[in-house]
Structure 1
């Protein structure tokens, strides 16, 4: 029986490239000259840490990071920015957690949307992904089109079409 998986996967290398491009832009901008600015990608923790001299510069670096995410075809929705914190040196810091996988609530919304189409397919939640099976590939492709038109809290990728 044909099936496919709905997942939210991140490409760590592309995130690393976006962070490096952001650092390169910060180093060439005149308004950042002489100011302490850091953007660091912690691969193991799925987190990006940003440190800047003041809150205006922090916001500018955040905007640059999002711009470079978009340029590298990464969805900025995967970034979940925390609260801004002050540091001992007078700088400000923020951490952005990178969301990977589909949480339970979003998976339930996806299943509800699929069932609302009234197509002969069976969605099933499996850990951090949703598997959709059906008898016709056309029905599965229609489900993909419906889900692409909807907005969810995480970006969706459709993989393993069999």
Structure 2
């Protein structure tokens, strides 16, 4: 009897790479001539980055720096969820950039339905914020991975626990 193979679909990022990204971005902000006197700050929290700066121009420059540093460290741009720009004390601007992790129930259902509809010999089950895909054929599982990579989901998806 053939054994069953499976893999998990998750949406996560490497926390240490994010720490390094914010650290590098902060160093570049401190050294760039156009941002040096803005007293801009980046603060990495548990699941968000707080940006504090003095102008809309500086905020856009910080976004660009942050996205560039994240891309160099193989972090997806889809993990950033830019919040509303608020005014802070001293005519400064503050923005919270939420870091998206985990697959929502709605998206998990959509992924599961896509797998079930297009691949008849493959099972997909939702386990919290993870979708487990299993099949007797490893080729089918690899076809599922290729198909999911073609879809443009609002999250960065990774495939783990392939066995």
For normalisation by structure 1, the TM-score amounts to: 0.95
8 A contact 1:19–1:65 mirrored in 2: yes
Q: Which residue of 2 aligns with 1:161?
A: 162
Q: Superposition pairs for residues 40-59 of structure 1, below 5 Å?
A: 40-42=43-45, 44=46, 46-59=47-60
Alignment TM-score, normalising by the size of structure 2: 0.95
Q: Quote how far apart the aligned CAs of 1:27 are.
A: 1.3
Write out aligned runs for 1:95-134 (5 A): 95-134=96-135
Q: Which moved more, 1:28-37 or 1:66-75?
A: 28-37
Partner of 2:24: 21
CA distance in 1: counterparts of 2:142 and 2:15, whole angstroms: 28
Question: What's 2:12 paired with?
Answer: 9
Aligned counterparts of 1:128 and 1:40: Cα–Cα separation in 2: 27
| CA drift at 1:9 | 1.4
Q: CA deviation at 1:118?
A: 2.9
- Specify every segment of 5 or more residues in structure 2 that has no aligned partner in the other structure, as ranges: none
- Gapped runs of 5+ residues in structure 1? none
Tell me the residue number matched to 1:136: 137
State the number of aligned residues: 160
Runs of 4+ in 1 over 6 A off after TM superposition: none
Residues 119 and 144, structure 2, Cα contact 8 Å, conserved in 1: no
- The two structures, once aligned, show a CA RMSD in angstroms of 1.0
